[in-house]
Amino acid sequence: MALIDRSDMAEFATIRDEVTALKRERTVEAAAQLFYDRGYEKTTLEAVAETMGVTKPFIYNHFKSKAELLADICTRGVSASLVAMDAALAAEVSPTEKLRMLSRGFLTAVLSNQRYIAILTREEKSLEPADFERLSVLRRDFDRKLVALLQAGVDAGEFHLNDPYVAALSIGGLVSWAYVWYRPDGRLSLEALADEVSSLILAMAGVPAGQ
């Protein structure tokens, strides 16, 4: 280690970097839990630090402000949704199958990032304008891609939709809202829920039952 010149380190993940990343990660997790339970404005950084067994300056060594912590949290939910979208679009299958993949992947992304999605939805007004704008662009991007997918399905004769734009917003809402009611210890597993919801969405798109 001692032989490695400092100037090279930027390109490699050193132990130090990993430790720093771990601390950031733990801080985000602790903050997300409290922001989710109590709300952003009602959560003090003191409280976040306390649940981690550290103090406030620890947090300020890794985040420049409370708002940056929020931005980090909010970015996660949106990113996960976009990853699911891009994965579905990249598959070389019919629009119907893409929509099924998207529905399942999107719901899974929302539910496995439940806290982050909830915080984004509730607290977007507390984001710095630049972060808000950045995330808005990502969300519009998601909607745009979904409209295009629905339109492609209509053009292929697989979907029957009068207004793909409204349909896209409806699908987006149906899935996004799942953070409100989902309970990890509920009656249905995440897998089973994904099956249910994706068939509801296919039905909504006008795909005959049973594919």
Partner DNA sequence: TAGAAACCATACCGATGAGTATTATGCAAG
Partner DNA sequence: CTTGCATAATACTCATCGGTATGGTTTCTA
Q: Which residues bind a second copy (CB under 8 A)?
A: 38-42, 121-123, 125-126, 160, 162-163, 165-167, 169-178, 180-181, 187-188, 193, 196-197, 199-201, 203-206, 209
54 binds DNA (CB under 7 A): yes
Among 24, 26, 33, 56, binds DNA (CB under 7 A): 56
Produce one character per residue of 4-28: b if its CB has 16 or more CB atoms within 10 Å, e if not: eeeeeeeeeeeeeeeeeeebbeebb
CB-nearer residue toward DNA: 17 or 163: 17
Q: φ and ψ at 162, to 5 degrees? A: -75, -40
28 vs 171, which CB is nearer to DNA?
28
> Which range of residues in 64-72, 92-100, 151-159, 186-194 is near DNA by CB under 7 A?
64-72
Q: What is the DSSP letter of 8?
A: G
Residue 119 three-state SS: helix
Residue 129 amino acid letter: P
Site for DNA contains 2 (CB under 7 A): yes
DSSP state of 207: P
Q: Does 136 bind DNA (CB under 7 A)?
A: no
Q: Is residue 66 near DNA by the rule CB under 7 A? A: yes
Q: Which does 60 bind (CB under 5 to 8 A by kind): a second copy, DNA, none?
A: DNA
Based on CB atoms, which residue is closest to a second copy, 152 or 174? 174
Closest to a second copy by CB, 55 vs 136, is 136
Angle formed by the axes of helices 15-38 and 66-90, to 10°? Answer: 100
Helices (H), the chain: 15-38, 45-52, 56-62, 66-90, 95-112, 114-123, 129-155, 164-176, 178-181, 190-204
> Contact region for DNA (CB under 7 A) — 58-66, 73-81, 96-104, 169-177?
58-66
